[in-house]
Structure 1
């Protein structure tokens, strides 16, 4: 679907376009103003995103988040009929890499979720403690595999 959007063959609400990425409104937003930042090149996951592309994705997501935090979508100003005033109070960035991580569309994309008091977005996790020796061992193995 993202390739169809890139090629102008599917409807979308464009937020940003440049030589490396597109940013557009999510058709099924989790929160008001949910934006996807998508590489123009068809890449599936993190392993295919080079440094330049990754930096651009992050930069565009950061700028979109900044615009959202400036309350660009303040419902009192947009006449959206959302009921009451909703001002963006925070932003989450999320990229799922692989099915086990929740990736459903296998074209890499970075979600920009504006956050509002009492919104329905949540991340559930059971934070677990670890021993320092275990963490040091994991860090050493990861360092050895970094490109």
Structure 2
């Protein structure tokens, strides 16, 4: 879809720090992470919400979420992760995406209040992406 930011990232027209690239799913760092390493997983096909997700893409998308949730623990020494999907409300880009956020006890995240942070610069974001990508491929 021409006006979709995530479709543009998938097409390579908009730069992103890619951490996962499969035939069905692309994963990249969120530019406004809750915590550094916050990853978005999107189906390559433009699908607006979870309700429209075809059954045949459920396993690739949520399998990727499971893999990234495991990898953030190793990559970032996180104790766990927060995995979420917004449908329409609070969905800033109308392309289905799964958030995988590294978590550590006492990190300050409370309920559904999502404070945002920033990477110091593009080099720091690139390092986070490389660390997670390397963990996923090992």
- The TM-score range, normalised by the shorter chain, is 0.7 to 0.9
TM-score (normalised: structure 2): 0.73
1:17 matches 2:50: no
1:37 matches 2:44: no
Q: CA RMSD in A?
A: 1.5
Cα separation, 2, equivalents of 1:26 and 1:116: 18
**Match of 1:93?**
83
- Which protein is bigger by CA-based radius of gyration? 1
Shift of 1:21: 0.8
Instruction: Name stretches of at least 5 consecutive residues in structure 2 with no aligned partner.
Output: 114-138
Contact 1:14 1:25 in 2 (8 A): yes
- Cα distance per residue 1:1-40 (max 9 Å; x no partner): 1011011001111111111110011111101210000011
Cα separation, 2, equivalents of 1:97 and 1:46: 7
SS in 2 for 1:2: helix
Count of aligned residue pairs for this structure pair: 109
Instruction: Name stretches of at least 5 consecutive residues in structure 1 with no aligned partner.
Output: 74-86, 126-147
**Match of 1:83?**
none
User: What are the equivalent positions in structure 2 for 1:89-128 lying under 5 Å apart?
Assistant: 89-99=79-89, 102-124=90-112
1:27 matches 2:31: yes
TM-score (normalised: structure 1): 0.69
